[in-house]
Structure 1
Amino acid sequence: MNSLNSNTSTNRIIPLTCSGHTRPVVDIQFSPITPQGNYYLISAYGNPMLREGVTGDWIGTFQGHKGAVWSARFSGDSNRAVTGSADFTAKVWDTVSGKELHTFVHKHIVRTADFNTDNTKILTGGQEKKLRIFDLYRPEAPATELEGHNDTIKAVVWDEANHQILSVGGDSNVRVWDLRTMQQSGTIACKAPVSTMSFDSCGKYITWAAGNTANFWKPGASFEDVKVVETKKKTSSVSLHPSHKKFVAGSDDDLWVRIYDFDSGEELGKYVHKGHHGPIHTVSCSPDGEMYATGSEDGTIRLWQTDPTKRYGLWQK
């Protein structure tokens, strides 16, 4: 990992560069803050990797998949991770020991996975065009299946507080499913196919990137009540800062990271940064709001300080 010198200017952000992946980084996520006051970062396309959140230092690599890993997500307590892979499996891992806890076999590539709130179930989706819910207390039991997608499922979010899950494919719609009836309850129409979708770190907004838009929806609101921000470039991934005053956007059309004002939707010009040597596929804000991470086609993760005037982690004044 590259270190930083002490001549960081007020507006210039010099990122930390985390190497280790030999293939493009397509998914990253910060964990919640743990009871010990720290947090972690998980990343994927090749073997998923676990890192210290503040420094980006490598902790370990989860070994076991036999294909590219498309998705990596933490449980709410950070003690587990779930990964979805091109080897037709989803795996659940112990993040402390690195041990593989469960393997759930599918009939095609698994593109996305997520935990429920109490970490007793996982939700998966992929090229089978089906959503599957697995019970971690009964891992051998048949999965509950939800059908309705006509193409590959690219992202899922489990919103247990509102008894629903959300999923996206390639048809420019976010599908909402009622967990009480196990039926689709509606759709949220988007201006373009959705590339990524996730909860913000506070669990108040579900965010997704669709074409030249960043989208923010409060679970429980009407399906029409979505805040849509037009972005300068085609947006591949979006992450809302914990303050809900700004958000980070990455693009797979250029090499720049952009910050936008959440209320006005205006690009904050002094927070437009270049550091990657390939398109940016995934972004994530840290749970304390002090930095954000970006993953790129160039095979690296870069950590960017939110406020370059502060002393934080490996950054020096």
Structure 2
Amino acid sequence: MTIVKDTKDTKTGTTDALKRFTPLTCTGHSRPVPHVSFTATTTASSPFPVLMISSCKDGNPIIRDGITGDWLGTLIGHKGSVWCSKFSRAGFDGGLARWAVSASGDFSARVWSISNSKNNNAKKGDSLDGDGMNGGQEIGSIVAELVHPHIVRSVDFAPHTDHWVVSGGQDGKVRLWKLDLDHTQDSEGGQMILEWDHVSNNGNPESKKMPMVRTVLWLTENLILTIGDDKVARLWQVTSLSTTTSEPEPVGVKLVDSVVMANNTDTMVACGLFEITHVCVNGQLLPFIVGTVGKTIYTLAVNDNENSTPKLQVVSKFTVDYKLSCASISPNGQLVLTGSSDDTWVRVYRVCEPLVAESRSSSSNTLNVMKVADNNTWLKQIDLWKGHHGPIHCIVFNPLWEYGPPGATGEAAFGVGSVATSSEDGTVRLWKLGHGSYGLWQ
């Protein structure tokens, strides 16, 4: 069913019309779902091309097939709300991420085994915690418990190794952890190597309360981004990270850049989720950090030139007339979706001023020079999705996007894919975008 007038852009050949498909509803949680994330695999023959993990205030993250939403396993062990969960990105076992990490209100982050390299016989229909996938050995078991002094709100694996995790939380601290995944050392599977303040005394020497760290993102081998309730994004550079299980070398960290996104004294402006989204720009997948502060959607990028200090750049920002909780940009760079804390709808925007990379580093996929989108004409609302029964907490596009052929225009250029939304209503919904078959949508 077409839900907007089919108006064609004479420059790009695209239309504003989107075809609406029935979303898939993923149940199983008993409380609100604050976060959802995907992992892409490196093996085309994997039985699960993409895995999805949802975090819930019931304390039990759920892993699903990222295409169909089918339940694969529940990670049981936390005694408090789980605010964030991520998959490992460096090591893949037969196409599956080997580990997951979760951040919880029980003052801990836990690392879970979700794959077993000793017996890789996974097939469609198997579950993560039964007798199917990989023989059911150690699947869903806790391999490391990272004890914190306060609530943990965000975690992430290093992109280049499974042996390092970064965490941030309620106490305003950022912590680096070295994992002993094979338990060769006498430890609980992980050791804190370094901790530092996201900001010193909230900018006020007399203040004893530190702003909560809402987001930690490990961007490249030596760059970490933190975003807190002070509405400031800070880029940190870490050094001397050992990727082996031997005794770690001394690790250092320094602040290299920051971006102030709102006045810290304005308590009415809330900081929402920020996530990494890889967008196809000029035929290359490039990383952007997309999130919300108050009523503004921010897109950030890192200008990482080998001959200079890395810099954070605001690529675009767009202000709306409602309170935002989350936002995400589609892998094809043509759509932006937003969620709000004031209603239950997902708003869909067409990108009118595409993000354009003018040059990039030869040794990494971070950007050198970025053309800034026009903040006044960047987005145009074209749709409103209804279906959730509570405010939207997280929106994440499935990275397995099927792009249109080179030189294609219109519908063929858009491609086809899906996006996940999580809500206060305790569900995750998968929505299809584009034309053609995709997963269960035919």
TM value normalised by structure 2: 0.66
Paired position in structure 1 for 2:155? 113
Larger Rg: 2
* Aligned 1:129-144 pairs, distance under 5 A: 129-137=172-180, 139-144=189-194
Paired position in structure 2 for 1:242? 331
**CA distance in 1: counterparts of 2:32 and 2:152, whole angstroms:** 17
How far is the alpha carbon of 1:147 from its aligned partner? 1.5
**CA distance in 2: counterparts of 1:205 and 1:11, whole angstroms:** 27
Q: Superposition RMSD on alpha carbons, in Å?
A: 2.1
Structure 1 runs not aligned, ≥5 long: 1-6
How far is the alpha carbon of 1:84 from its aligned partner? 0.4
Paired position in structure 2 for 1:251? 340
Amino acid in the other structure paired with 1:58: W
Paired position in structure 1 for 2:394? 282
**CA distance in 1: counterparts of 2:55 and 2:2, whole angstroms:** 30
Q: Is the 8 A contact 2:37 2:53 kept in 1?
A: yes
Matched, 1:214 2:222: no
Rate the CA distance shift 1:148–1:242 in 2: closer, same or farther, 3 A: closer
Q: How many residues align?
A: 307
Residues 152-190 of structure 1, C-alpha deviations (whole Å, 9 max, x = no match): 1111111225x2211111111112212135122232111
Residue aligned with 2:40, SS: coil
Q: Which moves more between the two structures, 52-61 or 205-214?
A: 205-214
Residue aligned with 1:182, SS: strand
* Aligned 1:1-317 pairs, distance under 5 A: 11-35=19-43, 36=45, 38-45=49-56, 46=58, 47-76=60-89, 77=92, 78-96=97-115, 97-117=139-159, 118-137=161-180, 139-149=189-199, 150-161=210-221, 163-180=222-239, 181-191=252-262, 192-201=269-278, 202=285, 204-220=287-303, 222-262=311-351, 263=353, 264-269=377-382, 271-289=383-401, 290-307=417-434, 309-316=435-442
**CA distance in 1: counterparts of 2:42 and 2:313, whole angstroms:** 35
Q: Is the 8 A contact 1:173 1:193 kept in 2?
A: no
How far is the alpha carbon of 1:303 from its aligned partner? 0.6
**CA distance in 1: counterparts of 2:190 and 2:398, whole angstroms:** 35
Rate the CA distance shift 1:203–1:108 in 2: closer, same or farther, 3 A: farther
Rate the CA distance shift 1:226–1:74 in 2: closer, same or farther, 3 A: same
**CA distance in 2: counterparts of 1:183 and 1:225, whole angstroms:** 21
Q: Is the 8 A contact 1:156 1:198 kept in 2?
A: no
Structure 2 runs not aligned, ≥5 long: 4-17, 116-138, 200-209, 240-251, 263-268, 279-284, 305-310, 354-376, 402-416
**CA distance in 2: counterparts of 1:106 and 1:122, whole angstroms:** 13
Q: Is the 8 A contact 2:50 2:400 kept in 1?
A: no
Amino acid in the other structure paired with 1:303: L
Q: Is the 8 A contact 2:198 2:213 kept in 1?
A: no
Q: Is the 8 A contact 1:215 1:227 kept in 2?
A: yes
Q: Is the 8 A contact 1:258 1:267 kept in 2?
A: no
Residue aligned with 1:143, SS: strand
How far is the alpha carbon of 1:203 from its aligned partner? 5.3
How far is the alpha carbon of 1:252 from its aligned partner? 1.6
How far is the alpha carbon of 1:230 from its aligned partner? 2.1
Residue aligned with 2:191, SS: coil
Rate the CA distance shift 1:258–1:103 in 2: closer, same or farther, 3 A: same
Residue aligned with 1:179, SS: strand
Q: Which moves more between the two structures, 205-214 or 287-296?
A: 205-214
Residues 36-89 of structure 1, C-alpha deviations (whole Å, 9 max, x = no match): 351011001221000001100110100111111011111114221110001110
Q: Is the 8 A contact 1:33 1:287 kept in 2?
A: no
Q: Is the 8 A contact 1:248 1:285 kept in 2?
A: no
Rate the CA distance shift 1:224–1:199 in 2: closer, same or farther, 3 A: closer
Amino acid in the other structure paired with 1:257: V
Identity %: 34
Q: Which moves more between the two structures, 84-93 or 204-213?
A: 204-213
Amino acid in the other structure paired with 1:296: S
> Which structure is higher in RCO with an 8 Å CA cutoff and minimum separation 6?
1
TM value normalised by structure 1: 0.90
**CA distance in 1: counterparts of 2:78 and 2:42, whole angstroms:** 27
How far is the alpha carbon of 1:140 from its aligned partner? 4.6
